[in-house]
Each structure stands twice: as C-alpha cells, then as structure tokens.
Amino acid sequence: MRELLELLEHDARRPVSELAALLHRSEYEVEKQIQELEKNKIIMGYNALINWEKYGDNTVTSIIEVNLMPQREVGFDAIAERIYRFDEVRTVYLMSGSFDLLVIIEGKSLQEVANFVATRLATIEGVTATRSHFMLKPYKKDGIIMDDKECDRRLVVSP
Amino acid sequence: MKWESRLSPVVNAIAPSGIRKFFDIAAEMEDVISLGVGEPDFVTPWTIRESCVYGLEQGYTSYTANRGLLELREEIVCLQQNRYDLSYNAKEDVLITVGVSEALDLAMRALLAPGDEVLIPEPCYVSYKACAALAGGVAVPVPARIENEFRITPTDLEAHITNRTKVLLIGYPNNPTGAVMSKDDLLAIAKFAEQHDLIVISDEIYGDLTYGGEEHVCFAALPGMKDRTILLNGFSKAYAMTGWRIGYALANPVFIAAMTKIHQYTMLCAPVTAQIAAIEALRHGEKYMKKMVAEYDRRRGFIYDGLTKLGLKCFEPRGAFYIFPDITSTGYTSSEFAENLLMSEHVALVPGSAFGDCGEGYVRCSYATSLDKIAEALARMENFLKNHHK
C-alpha cells in the first residue's frame, strides 16, 4: 500500500498497467486499491505541478503570517475554517512560534492580494495581526526543483 | 613505423574491451536509448556532494596518508563490524584506493608471481582477466551456467585447478548476470579455498544491491575466511559515486602492507575530496542508498517481465542492476544482436561475449535507467525481434 502511494505521489499519471508491473500485482488489484485510497481520502487528489512563471502567467503568491485570538472550546479551528474556505487561499497551516496561521494566497496581481488581505482576512473577528510576504521566485516546490540543470551525463556505454 | 612492435608484449596480448566499439557507434546517435551503462542513473546524493564542497572550502586539498584518511578507514571498519560482525583494524587492515579497479590491480600485483594462475568465474567484469595478465599471472576462466543461475560450484572450479593455482577471484552480486551466491554456495567455495590453500579476492562492489529479501553474504565473514580473503568494496554503485573513484581493500596486514607499497609508488593516495565525500556517504548516506535500491528493485521486476514476455529466456537477477537475457533464439551471435539492435532500433546494450567466452549468446541490459526509458527500450526490442531473425 505504502509503495503504491509513493509511486503515485511521485508520478500520478502512471498507468495502472505500469503500477501493476512495478508492484508485482494484478491491474485489478491495483485499481481496487486506488479506489479504496481515494474513497478513504488518503489520496486527496491529483495535481499537476506547474511552473506558471515559465508559462508566462504572472500570478502573485503571498505568504501571510496571521495572529489569532483563540476562542473558547474551538481554539483556532473555527477561524481557520473561515479563512481556508476562501478560494484565493491555497494553503493554511497552524504553526508553533511567533504567529498562529501560515496562509498562502494566490492572486492575479499585487492589488488583488493586498485587497483580499485588507478587506477579507484582516477583518475576520479573532484575527489580531497579519504580516504579508510576497514570493519573488520559487526554487523548489513540493520536492521538485523548478529549474533543474542536472541531467544524465553518463557515457552511453560503460563496463 | 611499427610502434606496436615496441609495446610490451603483455599489453599487446590483451584484447581491447568489447564495449569500446559499441560506445563509439552509440555516442554518435541522436535518439539512442542505452541499456548499456554500467553505473547508476542517479546523481550522488546532495548531502555527499555538499560535504565535498565544504571540504574544499575548508582547504582540504592536500595529499592524505597513503592508506587514506584514518577517519574514513575507521568508518569502513565500523561498517564491517556492524553489518557482518567482521573485525578489522583501521590502521593496518584497510587501504583506500582509486576505485575498486585500483584495489583489484594492487591485489593481483601484490600476489602474483609470473605464471601463477587465477581462477575467474565467468561471465565477469571486463577487467578481471586483463588485471591478472598485466600482473604477470594467468587468468583461468571458469564458466558459470544459466542452469545454475550463474553461480559457481566447487565442482566447476575443481576442473580448472592446477599446482599453479594461487588465487580465486569472485565477484558477487555479479556484473553482468545479476547472480548472487547464497551462504551455502559460498560455504562450499570457502571449503574449496581451504582445501587448495587459495587466496580469495572477493569483489563485493554490488553487495548493497540485492533484492527480494536476499541478504548479501560477505565472503570474508565466513568461518576461517577472513585471513585468506582480500575483500574489495567501494562507493560507486551503492552511493552513485562512480566518478569519485573511491574504493577500498580489507585484508590481513601483510597483504595490505604489500598493496600499500605498490599504491604509494604508483598512486600515492586517493583524492582527498572524494575521501571526504565517502566519509559522509557512510555516515549519512544509507537512507538515500536504500531509496535507490528500492527503485532498482522495481525496475528489475519490470524489465524481467518485459524481456520474458518478448520470449527471451532470462535468469531473474537477484543483485546488481543488470539482466542477462539469452538471445540465441534469434540466431544471432551476441555481437551481431547488439550491433543490429543498435543500428535498427537505436537501443544500446552490451554483448555478453565482452564478459567472457561463456557470455556468448547473451546480452547485458542495465536497468540503471528510468522506467520510461526501459519501457521504450522494450518496445523497440519487440519491434526488432519481429523484424529480425537470422
């Protein structure tokens, strides 16, 4: 099971036939397992990792540190949900340290992101402070180096 | 001018490597897919590369002791102790060399007197025979058969023993067949070595690369064998460090002192930068190595299934990263097969004959290449087999 997940995490587009060959199992078995994993939300989805910058899309990414006033009974969860329900919000983590939530927002322009923070995020009750950082250049994302210059430098044939 | 006649007759007598020719043709081709590469397709793990960069920044650019950095020798001794319960002395029993290739050359030169014979099970790594000959010895090939999963037995060896036999050179897991020897297989060999008082050189460079729950058995760790064994290993295959050229020899102090004598005059020491990297490999490289081994294992199953489906008889490899299919059904010799496949489908592999006479009828495919490429190579081979028959 773990091996199947690792293979899919590395390359979700691998056909079931190939996965079956790699895992020494039947295609039917692998297909069934994938369905099971999807049903149990262990596999949450399949995304392509896209270098939008290279495509020419000037998306703006902002990483925002958010301080919260925790609420009785629910702690941070209720406010976190109010934040992560926005489509603009790509990622939300509860953090240890000097701030509480790390929120990653994507927008079409600086304006749009700033506007979102000012009018939507900062005004939520329980949000006591926000600090926005704009991402300038991605070097590595989800384990993939964006502009990897390493290639196969081996001789074609060797002993 | 006949400069050839001025060369050493020993050198003249050595045949050039059978791999060379294919390299020259394949290197010119554009869309070639190579299953002919005898090294990992991974780049050395970053932590190892980074430690070398740091070493350079700190100014580690000088010679090291002839035997290599003591720190590295200690790490190696520690590894043998932990893995095989084998006790070596870091000061006297270890020599760091420029790849296992140098260690092998040193061992041969240290041991062989003119005419001494070396038993070499074949198919085997291309340099074994040449090294024996260059050291003044006589290489005596002992064919291993696919029926016995390319393992060697005392009976096979017995047929080739003479009163000049001094050394037995074994290399398991095996390049090119992917064969491994079980503990029982090796115990039988150990008994044989004892009976005939042979020195055993055991090249275990692929020792970390075994599959299917098969644990590598270290020859020197067998009862009574440590003293008569020169154990060779290195970092090239397990840690994807071929270009760093770091290997080592472990043996009794007399053998190591003799090898060190040659090494100090011919090589002085292995490169310090690579030795620093090797220390890092042993200290923190294991998890990366295990990941690579798991990946080879998946490819192994994939290529074995693929070749078998193409109708080529294969021994399912248990170690290293090679598979050695029988291509006699095509009617071609292994050289013809390799050449025609390269010309018509642009797939490079190595004819089995490069690894000894008994490798004729086989080809070596390396699965140290990405799955996509293996899949594409298999598709091209299928096409080739449909259209080509002698």
Per residue in A98-108, pLDDT (tens digit) is 999 999 999 99
Which pLDDT does position B214 carry in this prediction? 80
> Does A32 lie in the same domain as A65?
no
Residue A121 lies in a domain: yes
Which structure tokens are listed for B20? 């060379």
Q: For residue B213, what pLDDT band results from cuts at 50, 70 and 90? A: confident
Assess whether pLDDT exceeds 90 at residue B25.
Answer: no
Q: What CATH number corresponds to the domain at position A102? A: 3.30.70.920
Residues A19 and A58 in one domain: no
- The residue type found at B15 is A
Nearest beta carbon to residue B22 from set A21, A150, A157: A157
- Pairs of residues, one from chain A and one from chain B, whose beta carbons lie less than 8 Å apart: 55
Residue of B132, B155, B144 whose CA lies nearest to B181 = B144
Domains of chain B: 3-44+287-384 (3.90.1150.10), 60-285 (3.40.640.10)
Q: Examine residue A26 and state whether it is found in any structural domain, yes or no.
A: yes
Q: Check pLDDT > 80 for residue B20.
A: no
Whether residue A65 is found in the same domain as residue A107: yes
3-state secondary structure B24-70: HHHHHCCCCEECCCCCCCCCCCHHHHHHHHHHHHCCCCCCCCCCCCH
Contact A135, B328 (CB under 8 A): no
Predicted pLDDT of residue B17 = 76
Model pLDDT for residues A83-119, shown as the tens digit of each residue: 999 999 999 999 999 999 999 999 999 999 999 999 9
Task: Summarize the confidence of residues B201-219 as an average pLDDT.
Answer: 95
Task: Tell me the per-residue pLDDT of B305-317, one tens digit each, with 9 for 90 and over.
Answer: 999 999 999 999 9
The answer to whether residues A64 and A34 belong to one domain is no
- Do A75 and A32 sit in the same domain of this protein? no
Mean pLDDT of B208-237: 96
- The confidence band for A75, taking pLDDT boundaries of 50, 70 and 90, is confident
Q: Kindly state whether A21 is in contact with chain B, defined as any CB-CB distance less than 8 angstroms.
A: yes
Query: For residue B136, which of B104, B162, B110 has the smallest C-alpha distance?
Result: B110
Is the pLDDT assigned to residue B23 strictly greater than 90?
no
Q: Is some CB atom of chain B closer than 8 A to the CB atom of A31?
A: no
Q: Does the pLDDT of residue B77 top 90, yes or no? A: yes
* Same-domain pairing of A24 and A98: no
**Contact residues on chain A for B38, CB-CB shorter than 8 A:** 158-159
Rounded CA-CA distance B139/B127 in Å is 11
The count of domains in chain A is 2
Enclosing domain of residue A117: 52-139
- Over pLDDT 70: what percentage of chain B? 99
How high is the ipTM of this complex? 0.81
CA separation, residue B88 to residues A22, B41, B209, B306 (Å): 40, 32, 23, 43
pLDDT for B141 equals 98
Domain co-membership, A80 together with A102: yes
Would you say B161 and B182 are in contact if contact means Cβ atoms under 8 Å apart? no
Q: How confident is the model at residue B352 (pLDDT cuts 50, 70, 90)?
A: very high
Minimum-distance CB partner of B27 among A7, A24, A156: A156
Using a CB-CB cut-off of 8 Å, the residues of chain A touching B125 are 159
Contact criterion met (CB < 8 Å) for A156 and B19 = no
pLDDT in tens, B150-173: 999 999 999 999 999 999 999 999
- Domain annotation covers residue A146: no
Q: Tell whether A158 is within 8 A of chain B (Cβ).
A: yes
Name the band, by pLDDT with cuts 50, 70 and 90, for residue B1.
low
Torsion angle, alpha carbons of B366, B376, B288, B53, to 10: 90
Give B338's contacts (C-beta < 8 A, 6+ positions apart): B22, B348, B349, B350, B351, B363
Are A70 and A130 in a shared domain? yes
Q: In this model, does residue B2 exceed pLDDT 90?
A: no
Say if A155 falls within a structural domain.
Answer: no
Give a yes or no: residue A100 inside a domain.
yes
For residue A104, give how far its alpha carbon lies from the nearest alpha carbon of chain B (Å): 29
Mean pLDDT of chain B: 95
Asked if residue A129 and residue A57 are part of one domain, the reply reads yes
Looking at the structure, do residues A21 and A66 belong to the same domain, yes or no? no
Residue A34: give its domain's CATH number: 1.10.10
Give the chain A residue nearest B175 (alpha carbons). A159
DSSP string, B133-186: HHTT-EEEEEE--GGGTT---HHHHHTT--TTEEEEEE-SSPTTT-----HHHH
What mean pLDDT is predicted for residues B35-61?
A: 96
Q: Which of B124, B160, B165 is nearest to B144 (CA)?
A: B124
A113 and A83 inside one domain: yes
Answer whether residue B258 shows pLDDT above 90.
yes
Residue A32 forms part of a structural domain: yes
pLDDT exceeds cutoff 80 at B243:
yes
Residue A114 counted as domain residue: yes
**Closest residue to A156, CB basis, from B34, B43, B306:** B34
The answer to whether residue B242 scores a pLDDT higher than 90 is: yes
Instruction: Considering only residues A21 and B94, tell me which one the structure prediction assigns the higher pLDDT.
Output: B94
Q: Does A22 touch chain B (CB under 8 A)?
A: yes
A17 occurs within a structural domain:
yes
Residue with tokens 């029982």: B184
Separation between Cα atoms, residue B246 and residue B96, nearest integer Å: 7
List residues of chain B with CB under 8 Å from any CB of chain A.
17, 19, 22-23, 26-27, 32, 34, 36-39, 41, 43, 125-127, 175, 298, 301-302, 305-306, 348, 350, 354, 371, 375
Together in a domain, A72 and A125: yes
* Pairing outcome for strands A101-107 and A89-94: antiparallel
